[in-house]
């Protein structure tokens, strides 16, 4: 599974203005609703429910909120670079400025986990995260996210 299977250029937000975790999730749910055709409230509720189980703030300024929804026919991703870091109850207690939202159909067991692993692997790369933090251009962010690992190593 590649990142290009999850996001499109329209699913990249270059300067999300949010002052709290809740506001960031609401804004992302609104944008995800436009992309998926699902109701914004349904997406927001699934994200909040997942956060109640434990934070999706994975550390190093990164959060990967995710959830499964009925009526979704495939996996969807949404990436946001925040204008200013926000508190996200992260495991390392550091504020978050990079968020990769992942939505999956209820039936997507292994695919959901593969997509989470792929996103996690990408955002564990400090060099990639530095580049993502260094631009506020949506096209450049999309290019950085979807660049193949082989070309990153060069």
Distances (CA, A) of 154 to 18, 87, 142, 147, 148: 35, 35, 19, 11, 10
Spot the catalytic one: 66, 86, 141, 142. Answer: 66
Active site residue 66: yes
Residue reference for tokens 């990769």: 100
* Encoded tokens for 85: 């870091």
Catalytic residues: 66
């Amino acid at each position: 599974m590649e990142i290009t299977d999850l996001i499109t250029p329209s699913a990249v937000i270059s300067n999300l203005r949010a002052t709290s975790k809740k506001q960031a999730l609401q804004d992302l749910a609104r944008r995800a609703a436009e992309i998926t055709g699902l109701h914004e409230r349904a997406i927001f509720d699934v994200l909040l429910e997942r956060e109640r189980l434990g934070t999706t703030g994975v550390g190093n300024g990164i959060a990967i909120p995710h959830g499964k929804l009925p009526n979704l026919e495939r996996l969807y991703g949404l990436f946001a670079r925040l204008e200013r870091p926000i508190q996200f109850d992260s495991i390392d207690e550091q504020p978050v400025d990079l968020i990769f939202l992942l939505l999956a159909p209820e039936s997507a067991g292994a695919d959901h986990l593969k997509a989470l692993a792929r996103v996690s692997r990408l955002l564990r790369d400090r060099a990639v995260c530095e580049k993502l933090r260094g631009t506020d251009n949506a096209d450049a962010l999309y290019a950085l996210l979807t660049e193949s690992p082989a070309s990153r190593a060069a």
